[in-house]
Each structure stands twice: as structure tokens, then as C-alpha cells.
Chain A
Amino acid sequence: MIRLVVATLAFLALVAWWPGWRGPEQPLGEAVDAAGFVARTESFAARYQAGERVEPPPGDVPLLARKFEFWPDVKLNPQARYRLRVMAQDGVHSVAVNGTEMLLVPGYVQDIEVVPGDQIELRCNEYCGLGHNRMRLRPY
């Protein structure tokens, strides 16, 4: 009986101490028409293709997360400001940038703000298949 009381008290104390269950569910981002977003990304990539990479001007940059790449392979200017708009194309992925992780789901766009001086790297952080660890983008 005493052990049960101790266990119950310990359970309540530990759960009160542990922050894991208190955080809110993370938002999935802005709902979009998935097929339309894919078409816009393809035309954006074609417009700013420069050799093997895509060099977009400052501003919004649409990106697709798919097995096992972030596409297109963009090259950013480290002194410019961008808003990367990322959507998963073929299933669930995630991206962790500057210590913040966002889940990427088809039909929802997550935004990543890139300011001058940032040296970000996009890396999938949700297991998505055997090539998962290859899935990263170094935009500089």
C-alpha cells in the first residue's frame, strides 16, 4: 500500500516536472492545393535554372521535400533575405532549421525565414526510407 502511494506521488511529481506533454501540437502550415504547388515549383525552378543549380532572387522560394531530396537544388546568396516555402510531395518528411523542427505533409506549406548571415542546411528529420540520411540541402 505504501509503495502504491509513493509510486502515485512520484508519478504526479514527475509528470508535473516533465514538460514533454504540455507543449502544443505543432501547426502543419498553410493549406494549399498540392498539385498546384508542385506545378508552381517546377515552373519556378525552370525560370531560375543556372547550370546544375537554381539561383533564385531574394523573396519567396518554393521547395518540394520528396524521397530523398529537397528540390530544386537552390543556391542562395548569403547576404540576401528569403522565405523558403516547403511542401512534402510524396509522404511525410520534416525539416530542422536553427533548432526548430517542422513536419512536412503533402498539401501544407511550411515557411522558413532566411536572413542575411544565416548558414542554414535543410535536413530531413523524419525517417522516410533507406535514403533518408542522404536527404539534405546545402544552399550555400
Chain B
Amino acid sequence: MSAKSMHMQQNHFRMLELRLWLLLAVAALAVAGGLALGLALARTPVVQDYLPSGPAFFHKALVTHVVFSFQVWLLAMLAALAADTARLSWPGLAGVGLCAGGGLLMLAVTLAGWGEASLNNYVPVLDHPLYFAGLALVGAGVAAALWRPGTGLAAVGWCYAVALGCFALAAWRLPADLDPAFRLERLFWGGGHVLQFVNTGLVMVAWQRLSGHQPTRLSRLAFTLLAVGASSAVVVELRFDPQGLAWRQAYTDLLWFMLPLPPLLLAADVLVSSGRRPDWRSLAGGALGASWLVFALGGGAGFALGAGDTRTPSHYHAMIGGVNVALMGLVICVLLPRLGRPILSPRLPRWQIGLYGGGQLLHALGFYLAGLAGVARKTAGAEQGLDSVFKLVSMGVVGLGGAVAVLGGVLFVGQVLARLVRHD
């Protein structure tokens, strides 16, 4: 085989892998959307009795909705970015298979109604061995895609390794006979915090590629600091007992002190040291600016959280919103054209990103105001105690923003899936 045909074959497999990861990522969003519909049905009288596990389906669907829209979508996008430049395709192709298998397993457990739902932080789960097996397959699949030569994602891959190490260490150090809710919370607390370094690394890479920006000394420093920050989890693990309060608070502190600087440095680098400023009127530039705005507001809110109120979901919805706006822009402006499947009219994507970003911003703002007034997080109906006009209006803004963001999300899934599955 000549060098040219080898290169063509390599490129063919790379594009196949990229397309499969994108399909998996967008399908995860579609499944999460379907489960969100299940959440509504689980609260509908009469209909709820026909669901796989009756009204209890609400919490089970909520768990898998979060896992698919947060973990599977983001990690599959990270793997897609790795596939875009990797030199070897077979680990990534094996990884996408593992990840799809894991996702299907978790979905099957959810629909069968197996396992108790646990709404612990970061990675909520259904407490069933097959659900854990599904999570492990997803984790292994992403590792296979990340830990190979030529991805250009060494720092993010390192953060991911530290996160998996924290999960494993917690599983080993926490006794099996602890109260299940407490054990699951602590099992996913440390690694869940380190996964935020992975997500921050993901959005930093997305910003770089959206702006067409080449790595510089400053951007390398930003990624080095990110990896170094995640590595500090080792100090927490060596120093504290995972059942204690200091261990839990040290991880919160870790995000406060270690996470803000790397994305700020990277953004500064994209703005000033590239010599080629983003074109803000273009779709890619607009997505980059919108991502910065939503991400920065969410990050700022993270420094002014309450205890157990809706300011916490305000913070993370805005952070996730900022990451997602960048990823949506990246898929539409960079990855689909790379696959030779561009979206031809820029009008719909512009609306879509605007609706999603604006909706998330409203959603987060409503949550923040409601939290200031004392509305507790993760509650619904009478439990919320909406006993003032301010609380009612704030939660109304949450609902309105959420509906607008869902519309933007549905448009994204629809247009990207259509481009990915169509035979050209």
C-alpha cells in the first residue's frame, strides 16, 4: 500500500470515528430530552401509573437525564475533539463502541425501573450493578479515546485520569456498609469535582478551535495550570478521611482556588496574543462571545452561593450553558464542515445558539433570584414554598428560560442529527 493510500485510509477512519462520536454525543442529548418528557409524564395523574416504575419513574428518569445531558454528552464531545486530530483510530473506534454499550445499558436499567435513584452531586445514579457497569463502560470508552497519541489533549487527558483515580480511591476507601445515600455522595464527590477540570479543559479547547487559534506559550501555561490544579486532588486524598467534613470542603475549595485562572488565561490569549482576533460577526465568533458571557456569569455566581438553595443550580446551569454554547458552535462551525456535512444556511444555527444561550442565561438568573429569596434546590410543587410574589416571578423566569433553552437544544439536535445521518 502506498503512503498516499495509507494516509487516505487513515483519514477515512478518523472521519468515521469523528462522525460516530458526534452521533453518540447528540444522541445522548436526544435521549436526555426524551427522558425530560418522561419527567413531565411522571407527574401527570393517571399517565404516571402506566410508566415502568409508576410515579417513582420521576427520580429514575431525572438521574439518567442528568447523566446523559451532562456526563455522556460532554465526555463524548471530548472524545470527538480527540478523534479530530488523533493519529490512531482503532482505540477511539473501540471507545465509541464501549461508550454506546454503556449508554444503552444505563438506559435499559432506567426503563426497566431497576435500582433506587440517588440524586447525589455530580454523577447521580441508579443504585444497581448494571447501572454502575454502564457508567464504567462510558468511562473506559472515553479513556480509550483520550489516552492515545496525537490528540493534543494531554492536559485534559491527565485531568480525566486524576478524576477516574479519585473515583477508584473513594470506592476503595469508603466502607461498603455505609448508608447508601452518604456513600454514593462521597463516592462521586471528589472525582466529580475533578471532572469540572475536564469540562473546563473541554471548553478551553472548544474556544481555541472556534477561534482558529494556534497554541502559544500562554495557552500552554493555561493547560499546564489546569492539569496542576486537578493534581492537587492527590493532596486532599493523602491528607483527609473521605468520610469527614474537611475532605468534602477541601474539594469545594479546590474549585475556588484552582479553576478560575486557566480559562481566564486562555481567553486572554485568544483575545490579545494571537494577532488574529475573532470575527465577532461570524457564527463562530458569536458562539465564542456568547459562551464567554454565559460562562463568566455562571463562574461569578459560583463565588456567591448559598447553602441548599437555588443559587447552586443557577451557577451550574450557567456554567454548563457556557460550555454547551461553545460546543454547539464548534459542532456547527468546525466539526460538521470537517466531515463535509456543513449546515448551509447560517440563519438557523444563529437563532438556535441565541435561543439556547439566552434561555440558559434567563434560567440561571431566575434560579439565582429565587435562591436569594430562600427557595430550596431540587424541590417541586408545594415543597418549594413560593409564598411571595418575588419567589413566584423568579421561578417563572426559571420556567421561561428553561423553555427557551429547550427549544434551542431541540433545534440543535434536530439539525445536527439530520446532517450526520443523511447519505451524501
Contact = CB atoms under 8 A, between A and B. Distances in A.
Interface of A: 3, 6-7, 10-11, 14-15, 17-21, 23-26, 90-92, 94, 96, 101-103, 123-130, 132-134, 136
Contacts of B118: 129-130
B251 to A, nearest CB: 8
Contacts of B178: 92
B379 interface: yes
A125 B308 contact: yes
The 3 closest A-B pairs by CB, nearest first: A20-B253, A91-B179, A20-B250
Given A94-B245, A130-B117, A136 B376 contact: yes
B120 interface: yes
Contacts of A90: 179
A123 B383 contact: no
B49 interface: no
Contact of B228 (A14, A26, A91, A136): A14
Given A18-B257, A20-B236, A91-B182, A7 B245 contact: no
Given A15-B235, A127-B182, A134-B383, A20 B228 contact: no
B246 interface: yes
Nearest to A24: B246
A11 B249 contact: no
Given A133-B376, A133-B379, A11 B241 contact: no
Interface of B: 59, 117-121, 178-179, 181-182, 184-185, 220-221, 224-225, 227-229, 231-232, 235-236, 239-241, 243-246, 248-254, 257-258, 307-308, 376-379, 383
Contacts of B377: 133
A8 B231 CA distance: 11
Query: What does DSSP make chain B's interface, helix, strand, loop or mixed?
Result: helix
A30 B308 CA distance: 26
Contact of A26 (B182, B232, B244, B379): B244
Contacts of A130: 59, 117-119
A136 B179 CA distance: 20
Nearest to A127: B185
B236, B245, B377: which has the most chain A beta carbons within 10 Å? B245
A47 B221 CA distance: 65
A25 B246 contact: yes
B229 A14 contact: yes
A106 B251 CA distance: 24
A129 B235 contact: no
A23 B229 CA distance: 18
Question: Which of A20, A21, A25 is packed against the most chain B CB atoms within 10 Å?
Answer: A20
Contacts of B221: 6
